[in-house]
């Protein structure tokens, strides 16, 4: 029940931000050039790779140790030490940007540096909020942050036509406001006293977070290496088209990611329970089915959307969308299966499996980008994600007896193949709407037992509530 409550709360908060994110996709299509979008996405990719390493992903250790402790002083000790480590790392991030800009010039390097810093501290405060079980504060801050970002994009990008500069300022303002709300509501200043600084605690935090940092950065090699390789070989404009296609994969995994967030917290809480193996297998299979079902559900909607932007420069990116979404889905599922590493405290496996996926991605992308362009890179991304998932599945199967529900997965993959074929061959809104209706009916039939079970639970709750009130 606690898992369902967390999922519901995260879903409410994240859906609001996802709606805003979805609204930005057409804004990009009509108001942001492919060159500006490519440059913006490139700098964000650098951020996603560099920040976990330079800040040693200290927020991951905060979540693990604070959420599992009931001692307020100990919680503050973990949080205080993580904050001071982050302050030291901020110096490193400034030096990194200076050196990186000297080697490969970045547009607006000062804004890129500020973007990385506010992103980091917002991430740290968000993890503190979750670990202290202040989930409402976490959700509200995320909603307000997204709204601020959207409003600034509307002002700076849509109205004032500030392009890349407007994208950077909008992101920074959104993150800064979210960070400020968390800092004030959590009364963070009471948790970062020098009294809490202990070298022994620092070593405990880093022992867990450093492997996670490498893992997170390596994970972004799978998702972000393609953008770097395209940018270096084909330029910002082509990278913008690739980034636009990737937006849809991001939207799908962001919808399913709310469940993953709640699931990881439950893994930490239940990691010593006797039935953890069964719980892990059950939840992973449910999430995999959910991810693929959402993928199948949205494909007709994406087809309708692309009909409306067929006169923009982004229309040609449609051919990359299904592979980009599949790659994102596989990578998202691999992250959930990777929960086994936290449960068993074997983080070196997280690094090794991610390194394997990242290596496959980079090798295939470098070898194919010259001949096949973006198509070669998206294929490399899918191959890397699949390698990541397969290697993690083998570890989970060995340590936790996890077994994938192949029959149901094959049916969903068949749905996706048919959906992808129709996506490219239906050229009118009416045909895509008919496709959407039939597709929705098919997915509903596939999940009929789950729908019946959920309906039964709600009927019982309603009957119980009626009896109490009576």
pLDDT digits (tens, 9 = 90+) for 316-332: 999 999 999 999 889 88
pLDDT of residue 461: 54
Q: What does the pLDDT look like over 282-317, one tens digit per residue?
A: 878 888 888 888 889 999 999 999 999 999 999 999
113 vs 197 pLDDT, higher one? 113
Map residue 132 onto helix, strand or coil.
coil
- 334 pLDDT band, cuts 50/70/90, is confident
Q: What is the DSSP string of 298-313?
A: HHHHHHHHHHHTTTST
Task: Give the pTM.
Answer: 0.77
pLDDT of residue 118: 95
Q: What does the pLDDT look like over 127-183, one tens digit per residue?
A: 888 888 887 888 888 889 988 999 999 999 999 999 999 999 999 999 999 999 999
- 105 pLDDT band, cuts 50/70/90, is confident
pLDDT of residue 400: 78
């Amino acid at each position: 029940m606690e898992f369902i409550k967390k999922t519901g709360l995260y879903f409410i908060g994240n859906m609001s931000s996802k709606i805003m994110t979805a609204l930005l996709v057409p804004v990009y299509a009509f108001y942001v050039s492919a060159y500006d979008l490519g440059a913006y996405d490139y700098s964000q990719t650098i951020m996603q790779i560099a920040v976990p390493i330079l800040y040693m992903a200290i927020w991951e250790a905060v979540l693990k140790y604070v959420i599992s402790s009931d001692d307020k002083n100990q919680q503050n000790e973990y949080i205080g030490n993580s904050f001071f480590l982050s302050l030291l790392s901020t110096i490193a991030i400034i030096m990194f940007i200076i050196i990186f800009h000297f080697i490969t010039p970045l547009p607006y390097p000062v804004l890129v540096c500020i973007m990385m810093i506010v992103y980091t501290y917002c991430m740290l405060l968000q993890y503190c909020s979750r670990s202290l079980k202040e989930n409402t504060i976490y959700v509200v801050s995320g909603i307000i942050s997204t709204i601020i970002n959207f409003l600034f994009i509307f002002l700076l990008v849509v109205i004032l036509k500030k392009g890349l500069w407007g994208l950077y300022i909008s992101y920074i303002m959104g993150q800064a406001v979210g960070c400020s709300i968390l800092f004030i509501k959590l009364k963070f200043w009471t948790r970062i006293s020098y009294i809490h600084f202990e070298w022994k605690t620092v070593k405990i935090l880093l022992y867990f977070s450093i492997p996670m940092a490498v893992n997170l950065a390596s994970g972004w090699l799978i998702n972000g290496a393609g953008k770097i390789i395209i940018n270096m070989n084909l330029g910002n404009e082509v990278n913008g088209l690739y980034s636009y296609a990737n937006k849809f994969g991001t939207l799908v995994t962001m919808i399913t990611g709310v469940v993953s967030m709640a699931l990881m917290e439950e893994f930490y809480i239940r990691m010593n329970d006797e039935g953890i193996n069964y719980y892990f297998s059950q939840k992973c299979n449910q999430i995999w089915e959910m991810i693929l079902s959402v993928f199948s559900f949205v494909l007709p909607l994406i087809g309708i959307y692309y009909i409306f932007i067929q006169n923009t420069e982004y229309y040609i990116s449609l051919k990359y969308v299904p592979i980009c979404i599949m790659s994102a889905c596989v990578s998202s599922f691999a992250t959930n299966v990777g929960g086994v590493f936290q449960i068993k405290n074997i983080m070196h496996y997280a690094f090794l499996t991610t390194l394997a996926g990242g290596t496959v991605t980079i090798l295939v992308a470098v070898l194919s980008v010259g001949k096949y362009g973006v198509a070669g890179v998206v294929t490399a991304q899918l191959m890397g994600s699949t390698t990541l998932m397969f290697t993690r599945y083998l570890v989970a199967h060995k340590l936790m007896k996890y077994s994938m529900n192949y029959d149901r997965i094959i049916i969903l993959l068949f749905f996706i193949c048919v959906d992808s074929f129709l996506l490219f061959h239906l050229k009118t809104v009416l045909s895509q709407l008919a496709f959407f209706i039939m597709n929705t009916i098919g997915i509903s039939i596939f999940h009929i037992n789950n729908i019946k079970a959920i309906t039964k639970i709600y009927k019982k709750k309603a009957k119980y509530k009626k009896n109490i009130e009576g």
